[in-house]
Amino acid sequence: MAHGPAKGFSRWLYTTNHKDIGSMYLWFSFAMFLLGGVFALVIRAELFEPGLQIVEPGFFNQMTTMHGLVMVFGAVMPAFVGLANWMIPMMLGAPDMALPRMNNWSFWILPFAFAMMVSTLFMEGGGPNFGWTFYAPLSTTYAPPSVTFFIFAVHIMGASSIMGSINIIATILNMRAPGMTLMKMPLFVWTWLITAYLLIAVMPVLAGVVTMMLMDIHFGTSFFDAAGGGDPVLFQHVFWFFGHPEVYIMILPAFGIVSAIIPTFARKPLFGYSSMVYATASIAFLSFIVWAHHMFTVGLPIAGELFFMYATMLIAVPTGVKVFNWVTTMFRGSMTFETPMLFSIAFVILFTIGGFSGLMLAIAPADFQYHDTYFVVAHFHYVLVPGAIFSITAGVYYWLPKWCGNMYNETMGKVQFWLAFIGLNVTFFPMHFVGLAGMQRRVPDYNQFFADFNMISSMGAFLFGAAQLMLLYNVISTIMSGKKATDEVWEDPEGLEWTVPSPAPYHTFSTPPPIK
Amino acid sequence: MSGEGTYYVPEQSKLPIFASIGLFITVYGAAGWLNGGTPTLFTVGFIMFAMVLWSWFSIVIKENLAGLNDAQLKRSYVWAMGWFIFSEVMFFAAFFGALYYMRNISLPELGGDNTTNEILWSGFKEVWPLMVTPDMAANGTSATVVGPDINMSVTTADSIFTWLPFWNTAVLLTSSFTVHFAHTALKNNNKKGFNLWLGITVALGIIFLFLQAAEYIHAYAENLKIHHGAYGTTFFMLTGFHGLHVTMGTFMLLVMWLRSVLKGHFSHEDCFGFEAASWYWHFVDVVWVGLFIFVYILG
């Protein structure tokens, strides 16, 4: 085993080191985050005022589509995989990931997949314009020719996700240091174990549904064509059978990150560890039986509406357990409010707001009113931005000193938090109101009636975007020249990652550490 | 869970980046080809990808022969293969789900006593196998999506013994036993028996593929094609993906057989390459049983 990283750029191309690969995932995801953010700002700039001023409606559709696809598959998922790569071997006392070469392959597929997907914007007929959920027949009969490239991009990024997940599961089940029993694992590892299971279960279904699209488009099959006996609604069923677990794929690792951070800054052990594990597993199980709550308005039989309504509401129970545990962990703790903690507390509060609007949407008769309005946009941005994005940001601030050996600038971190916090609420909170008042999503023009709230949303979006540049600056300046971090970094944090020097050596645990 | 401290973490490797480039050229070429281009790029990419995988597997085999793989690393391979097969199960689940949905939800709706039927597809009756599509029923000769002339259901067979899917089932089920006999022989240190039974398994796999090709030739000659409505769609997609997986499985077993016969690989305690291929083989066999029931018998 080599003792340090190889020299030059080939280090990154040929690496088998989980830390190198984790860093590449994180940088790639941040680049995609900025790209998806630019798409979002195009949308918000167009919606700044009613009427059409900046982009054509067709291009607007491409922007809403690409924003969703890039954020989900390019920003959030790879960021979590990057954190998993960095942290899971260190948290388990393992020398590396179980299958290091496949690990690098999982990463390097992604830049090619996204180059292919983004290149469709420059193809004849434009890029995907059918929404990130690519419902048939918009994505089949009425799609631009570039949809074929989109389909294959989804195929290979799915292959990347499956290989990444297999690697994570093999690492967790096989690479733990002696004495590291399953119920001693940090929650971040637990949530990733369950997330990886979800990914392996549903990414092939996504591959199946895009294959059906491909066949309908190029080989005349009738999956989504009623003329031949198929049904466009079949697309929605298969897509959301993937799509709903996918939503939890984007939030379960966030639960793990927050469950690591809150105890550190509350200076108390996590309340209800085992109930957290069981709650995570319950959420994963429920995620397979709630998919049709995305489809209440397609004409499901009443029994279906009721089943999916109640099943969806059940999710509030394990989620409530988690929120209760985080709050109870903080209760009477001696809390301090460093940047990771600020992001984590904001996560708990704002994610709960997003959860409540989710409960409103779960009520089938009410959803007939909310469906495809900005209320839905507000809901899922409240769970994804302060959920996934805030937790990733919290995790980066929390572990960055361990990764690079330098402490970030705390003041700048706190300023960035408040800018992001204010920006996100100013952007997304008014969307609840315009949505309830009837403004549809994915439309470039709107009634003057919604003008004020939209203008506020757009201003918030640009503020939120600016805050991300500050994060980038803070991270880069920390890596280049921060003040030296201690090995423990924080005050008596839990976990094996804090027992190794900062920065963590290139190969952490060549021999397994003792586990208490 | 163990920690011998000997877990093999490979040095830097060029395999992943070249595999990514090969895969990218393959799919980019495939998309361009489907959109009216030529197959050149696809072919180049595929050859490159296949070559990378070939050298990847040979490197892994060499490392194993060199004794670099400890028991813990071998467990990683076991987990990985198991979860890979699970992902394949879910892939097929999507297509079986589509078949279920068409037969039990969309076709009854299209042919039901409701306004959809009355206004859009008047005259359409739901009958499976679907020989008359909703389009044909409603629009007669101007229909664009027409049904097939024949189907492969058991009801069309004169006798079970002249019905090709029956023989296909027999061949594939037998091959699951022979691959198991090969495994047992290997575990008993009987390399001759192993080579024999594995060779028979590969032969059965090839026979299955020939029979399946005959079935497809028959189907296309008698006008049952992939674009012939819901029946053509589900019949060819399910059997087609299964056939593709049988091809891969046969190739894997063939490689294992050649490794054993030509290079003398595999012993009773070191045979995971073979075991992984045999698990895969049992998996395609189980999928076939599902196909046989839901596409042919109940079809």
Helical (H) or strand (E) element with A483: strand A483-484
Nearest to B226 among A100, A112, A219 (CB): A219
pTM over 0.90: yes
Q: Are A124 and A63 in contact (CB under 8 A)?
A: no
Nearest to A234 among B9, B11, B98 (CB): B98
CATH number of B1-69, picked from 2.40.50.140, 3.40.640.10, 1.10.287.70, 3.30.450.40: 1.10.287.70
**Domains B1-69 and B70-297 fall in the same CATH topology:** no
pLDDT, residue B131, reads 96
Rounded to 10 deg, the angle between the A18-46 and A100-119 helix axes is: 20
pLDDT, residue B3, reads 43
pLDDT, residue A25, reads 98
pLDDT, residue B1, reads 39
Contacts of B235 (CB under 8 A, 6+ apart): B151, B152, B219, B224, B295, B299
pLDDT, residue B229, reads 95
Within 10 angstroms of residue A62's Cβ, the number of other Cβ atoms is 22
- pLDDT over threshold 70, residue B165: yes
**Known active-site residue A18:** no
Residue that the structure tokens 């066999």 belong to? B285
Q: Taking CB atoms and an 8 Å limit, are B105 and A116 in contact across chains?
A: no
Closest CA to A250 of A104, A68, A413: A68
pLDDT, residue A417, reads 98
Instruction: Report chain A residues whose CB lies below 8 A from the CB of B104.
Output: none
The rounded distance, in Å, linking the Cα atoms of A4 and A116 is 34
Within 10 angstroms of residue B298's Cβ, the number of other Cβ atoms is 12
Q: Both tokens of residue A438? A: 């009837």
Domain boundaries, chain B: 1-69, 70-297
Domain boundaries, chain A: 23-499
The rounded distance, in Å, linking the Cα atoms of A39 and A33 is 10
User: What is the C-alpha R_g of chain B?
Assistant: 23
- At A417-465, the pLDDT tens digits run 999 999 999 999 999 999 999 999 999 999 999 999 999 999 999 999 9
CA distances A29 to A75, A79, A83, A382, Å, are 4, 5, 11, 20
pLDDT, residue A3, reads 63
Q: Taking CB atoms and an 8 Å limit, are A16 and B23 in contact across chains?
A: no
Q: Percent of chain B having pLDDT more than 90?
A: 91
- The confidence band for A162, taking pLDDT boundaries of 50, 70 and 90, is very high
Instruction: Report chain B residues whose CB lies below 8 A from the CB of A204.
Output: 87-88, 90-91, 93-94
Q: What would the mean pLDDT of B181-191 be, rounded to a whole number? A: 96
- At B56-66, the pLDDT tens digits run 999 999 999 99
Mean of pLDDT over chain A: 96
- At B248-257, the pLDDT tens digits run 999 999 999 9
Mean of pLDDT over chain B: 95
3-state secondary structure at position A82: helix
The rounded distance, in Å, linking the Cα atoms of B225 and B147 is 9
Contacts of A40 (CB under 8 A, 6+ apart): A67, A71, A461, A465
**Known active-site residue A222:** no
- pLDDT over threshold 90, residue B189: yes
Chain A nearest CA to B237, separation (Å) = 9
Residues linked to residue A440 through DSSP beta bridges, in sequence order: A373
Please give the residue of chain B at the shortest CA–CA distance from A168.
Answer: B80
**Known active-site residue A225:** no
Please give the residue of chain A at the shortest CA–CA distance from B22.
Answer: A109
Q: Both tokens of residue A453? A: 């709230």
The CATH fold assigned to A23-499 is: Cytochrome C Oxidase; Chain A (1.20.210)
Closest CA to B195 of B276, B271, B249, B247: B271
Instruction: Report chain A residues whose CB lies below 8 A from the CB of B52.
Output: none
Q: What would the mean pLDDT of A77-96 be, rounded to a whole number? A: 97
Q: Which amino acid is at A463?
A: L
Q: Taking CB atoms and an 8 Å limit, are A204 and B144 in contact across chains?
A: no
- At A341-386, the pLDDT tens digits run 999 999 999 999 999 999 999 999 999 999 999 999 999 999 999 9
Q: Are A313 and A362 in contact (CB under 8 A)?
A: yes
Closest CA to A136 of A37, A242, A212: A212
Q: Are B283 and B85 in contact (CB under 8 A)?
A: yes
Choice among A18, A19, A176, A322 that is catalytic: A322
User: What class has domain B70-297?
Assistant: mainly alpha
User: What is the C-alpha R_g of chain A?
Assistant: 22
Q: Both tokens of residue A156? A: 């290979």
pLDDT, residue B159, reads 86
The rounded distance, in Å, linking the Cα atoms of A256 and A128 is 34
Instruction: Report chain A residues whose CB lies below 8 A from the CB of B3.
Output: 93, 177-178, 511-512
The rounded distance, in Å, linking the Cα atoms of B271 and B256 is 10
Q: What would the mean pLDDT of A108-136 be, rounded to a whole number? A: 97
Q: Both tokens of residue B79? A: 């987990």
Please give the residue of chain A at the shortest CA–CA distance from B19.
Answer: A105
Q: Find the length of chain A.
A: 516
Residues linked to residue A406 through DSSP beta bridges, in sequence order: A484
- pLDDT over threshold 80, residue A415: yes
- At B76-111, the pLDDT tens digits run 999 999 999 999 999 999 999 999 999 999 999 999
The rounded distance, in Å, linking the Cα atoms of B230 and A227 is 9
Residues linked to residue A277 through DSSP beta bridges, in sequence order: none
Distance between first and last Cα of chain A:
28
The rounded distance, in Å, linking the Cα atoms of B216 and B240 is 9
Residues linked to residue A407 through DSSP beta bridges, in sequence order: A483
3-state secondary structure at position A382: helix
**Known active-site residue A7:** no
- The confidence band for A38, taking pLDDT boundaries of 50, 70 and 90, is very high
The rounded distance, in Å, linking the Cα atoms of A341 and A166 is 31
DSSP annotation of A484: E
Closest CA to A248 of A204, A285, A277: A285
Q: Find the length of chain B.
A: 299
The rounded distance, in Å, linking the Cα atoms of B144 and B134 is 10
In this predicted structure, which of A103-117, A245-259, A455-469, B155-169 has the lowest mean pLDDT? B155-169
- pLDDT over threshold 70, residue A1: no
Asked whether the bond before A137 is cis by omega within 30 degrees of 0, the reply is yes
Positive or negative: CA dihedral A418, A421, A425, A426:
positive
ipTM: 0.95
- At B193-217, the pLDDT tens digits run 999 999 999 999 999 999 999 999 9
Contacts of A505 (CB under 8 A, 6+ apart): none
The rounded distance, in Å, linking the Cα atoms of B280 and B201 is 13
The rounded distance, in Å, linking the Cα atoms of A330 and B120 is 61
Instruction: Report chain A residues whose CB lies below 8 A from the CB of B24.
Output: 109, 112-113, 116, 156
The rounded distance, in Å, linking the Cα atoms of B151 and B153 is 6
Chain A nearest CA to B220, separation (Å) = 14
